[in-house]
Amino acid sequence: GVYTFETTSDDGSALYVDKKLVVNNNGIHPPVKKTGKIKLRKGWRKVNVLYFESSGGEALSVQYSGPNTPLQALPCWCEQEVDEK
């Protein structure tokens, strides 16, 4: 089915599904919501969310919806990598 992914971020974010860019919310900006759609077959998928903060406010929210699945927060069964540079 077709799934919709959405990020709301301050500053930039990007969401990839199986290494394919689905949501590009790049840039230095206040909280902005961006969405993208992708057709997926049944099975496990690798979802990567990249995020950066420049200055000022901080926000990141990731949601998805799909066939018979209302918009909801993306579960975080995840490994987190933090770059403190």
State pLDDT tens for residues 12-70. 999 999 999 999 999 999 999 999 999 999 999 999 999 999 988 899 999 999 999 99
Specify the pLDDT at position 56. 85
Q: How many CB atoms lie within 10 A of CB 23?
A: 23
Specify the pLDDT at position 18. 96
How far apart (Å, rounded) are the C-alpha atoms in residues 6 and 23? Answer: 7
Residue 7: alpha-carbon gap to chain centroid: 5
Specify the pLDDT at position 57. 86
Cβ(15)–Cβ(26) below 8 Å: no
How far apart (Å, rounded) are the C-alpha atoms in residues 60 and 16? Answer: 15
